[in-house]
Amino acid sequence: MYGKVKTMKRIGILGVASLLSVALAGAQTGAPGAAKSGASSTAAGAGSHDPAEPLTGRPHPKILPRPFGAITRQSIDEKSMRKLIHDEVSCGTRLTLSSLTDAKRGIGCGRDFVVARMNEIAKDSGGKLQVVVDKFESKSERTGPNPIPLENIYAILPGTDEKLAKTVYIVVGDYDSRPSDVMDPNADAPGADDDASGTAVSVECARLLSSPSANGHGKFGKFRGTIIFGVLSGEEQGLLGAYRLLDWVKEQGYTVGAMMDNDIVGADTAPGGPHRVRVFSGNGEIEDADSPARELARAIEEIDGRSAIRMIFRQDRYGRGGDHFPFYKAGLPGVRFTEPLEDYNHQHQTPRTENGVEYGDFEKYLNFAFMGNVARDNAEVLRQLAMAPSAPTNVKLTGAVTPDAKVSWAAEDDPERAGFEILWRETTEARWSVFDFAEAARKSVLKGVSTDNHFFAVRSVGKNGARSIAVIAEAERRAPPLPTAPKQ
């Protein structure tokens, strides 16, 4: 939800996107830690502290370039994002407990602006985009004793592949806001950054990826999976809209391929910007660092580039929560986008001035150049993931107490898949490298590679160059022998 970070200056991402993709892919053909093989390792002498793996004969896999036709930064419509945020702020408050029926003030006012904009985009899409207003009831300690009515808005872009259309890639913002007192429906709560900014990002992604008139749409490629552009309610009251969305996608029979929450993505005021957006991901319970959420974060960074994305290996900001949390806790790939550094004077505050300090979440504190970057970053990730083959399943690591690691996996037949990348990394390394490429699902023997020194994963690669999210290879577990009680 919040942030500003001192980082490398953002490069014109899409101007060099294809070059970055090829460069990153090329860099990934090497072993983690740039390990040298054979004689060259020996020649390094005292500079090499560890034996290279494998000692000889490391594979040199082919690396397919990333999909062509990347979304350009120039295609982002900052003007329409500004207007939507201005409209949302004009509602005075969008607290979940405020009026659902007043057209000029309250949560219903905010809903109406979002639905109207989504319907405009759906019309421009030629009927491809389907807008759903999901009405439900929920309650929490922040709603009072009884369930209250809420409404989520989903714009659905159906996938074109019969087998993959039930896999959904989700981007969301939330349209509710809050003052200092989260139970006060009467106080002003403009909520420009938290989270009209995330709402604007999700809606702009819908425009970019659904409209034939969008710049470069003809080059975007075929979206095999379904994309859902969500604008959720009840976030400040306990992630109520997110829990409902999770239930809703299950009711529709969808499998979640990725869920990206954009919450507080509109400000970047530190000198030297624009800076990188933060992407938070929890570590899960597999080997301390490899939940599906973490693999999604790595995929986001690889697609958008390190100059655009700052991975934060934490489920969320300390002591905070967001709409990705229900998905993460369900073992699904859910992450959170948040601005580089948070200014707490301009979030969760009733507008006022005290001791010469202005409090309140107003439009004037937003940075639309940064917000446009975030919209492009989200849209490009959605584009590439929706173009990709399904991820492999049943990925396993065996070979303990042997000289070779053995990675196996399964996958359904797919004529549009080129094959699979077998990934590895040092246990202390944040990012994957490509160890080898396989054209079919199988058991692959990594000769001379210890099972102990690395993590391993597999991902699918389409003929179009789009990659699925990586799936960690789960190691077989052997319980150590335990002492037995002596006979009496």
pLDDT band at 48 (very low <50, low <70, confident <90, very high): confident
Is the per-residue pLDDT at 215 higher than 60?
no
Q: Which of 123-132, 203-212, 281-290, 406-415 has the lowest mean pLDDT?
A: 281-290
- Using CB atoms within 10 A of its CB, is residue 215 exposed (0-12), middle (13-18) or buried (19+)? middle
pLDDT at residue 219, as a whole number = 52
Is the per-residue pLDDT at 213 higher than 70?
no
Is the per-residue pLDDT at 45 higher than 60?
no
Q: Are 334 and 416 in contact (CB under 8 A)?
A: no
pLDDT band at 234 (very low <50, low <70, confident <90, very high): very high
pLDDT tens by residue, 255-286:
999 999 999 999 999 999 899 999 999 988 76
Give the residue carrying structure tokens 């929490």: 140
pTM value surpassing 0.85: yes
Residue 306: both structure tokens together: 């390190």
Share of the chain above pLDDT 90, in %: 81
pLDDT band at 211 (very low <50, low <70, confident <90, very high): confident
Mean pLDDT, residues 474-481:
79
Candidates 154, 125, 120; CA nearest to 223 is: 125
Number of residues assigned to the chain: 488
pLDDT tens by residue, 142-198:
999 999 999 999 999 999 999 999 999 999 999 999 999 999 999 999 999 999 999
pLDDT at residue 212, as a whole number = 79
Is the per-residue pLDDT at 303 higher than 50?
yes
CA-based Rg of the chain, rounded to a whole angstrom?
24
pLDDT at residue 282, as a whole number = 93
pLDDT tens by residue, 317-331:
998 999 999 999 999
Is the per-residue pLDDT at 12 higher than 70?
no
Q: Are 152 and 379 in contact (CB under 8 A)?
A: no
Q: How many CB atoms lie within 10 A of CB 123?
A: 12
pLDDT band at 47 (very low <50, low <70, confident <90, very high): low
Is the per-residue pLDDT at 77 higher than 70?
yes
pLDDT at residue 220, as a whole number = 63
Q: Which of 103-117, 287-301, 463-477 has the lowest mean pLDDT?
A: 287-301
pLDDT at residue 486, as a whole number = 78
Is the per-residue pLDDT at 413 higher than 90?
yes
Mean pLDDT, the chain, as a whole number? Answer: 89
Residue 96: both structure tokens together: 């979940």
Mean pLDDT, residues 64-73:
94
pLDDT band at 59 (very low <50, low <70, confident <90, very high): very high
Q: Which residues contact 137 (CB under 8 A, 6 or more apart)?
A: 147, 148, 149, 150
Is the per-residue pLDDT at 31 higher than 60?
no
pLDDT at residue 484, as a whole number = 83
Most confident listed range (29-33, 130-134, 480-484): 130-134
Which long-range CB contacts under 8 A does 357-361 form with residues at least 24 apart?
360/188, 360/190, 361/177, 361/189, 361/190, 361/191, 361/192, 361/193, 361/194
In angstroms, the CA 225 to CA 171 distance is 14
Is the per-residue pLDDT at 8 higher than 60?
no
Is the per-residue pLDDT at 42 higher than 50?
no
pLDDT at residue 293, as a whole number = 97
β-strand partners of 461 = 419, 467
In angstroms, the CA 484 to CA 488 distance is 12
Mean pLDDT, residues 116-122:
97
Is the per-residue pLDDT at 214 higher than 80?
no
